[in-house]
Each structure stands twice: as C-alpha cells, then as structure tokens.
Amino acid sequence: MLAVLNFPPKQIGPFVSECLVTGLYREDGAVVLAVPDQLVPNGARLA
C-alpha cells in the first residue's frame, strides 16, 4: 500500500489523521488501493 505520512493533523470524524492512503476509482465507483508490483524497502520515495 502507498501512503503519505507526516501530513498536518486533520480531523476526520471522531479521530485525527496524519496519513494519506492512496487509491484509484474504478468505473463502478469502488476504490482500489495503490500498491507497488515489486518489493521495495519501507520508506522508499514515490517517484
């Protein structure tokens, strides 16, 4: 899963989030999480 960390805190419902998880919409409106197709080290930068 690809995520962006250390975002400024944002109130989302009853909790505070500092992370953005990335995903893409399918034609039917469902969200598919973005994931790398090969192993990469934790913390690798998104190009």
pTM: 0.59
**Structural contact between residues 22 and 15, judged by C-beta atoms closer than 8 angstroms:** no
Q: What is the tens place of the pLDDT at every residue in 2-11? A: 888 888 999 9
- Identify the CA nearest to 40 among candidates 9, 2, 12, 6: 2
Domain boundaries, the chain: 3-33
45 confidence band (pLDDT: 50, 70, 90): confident
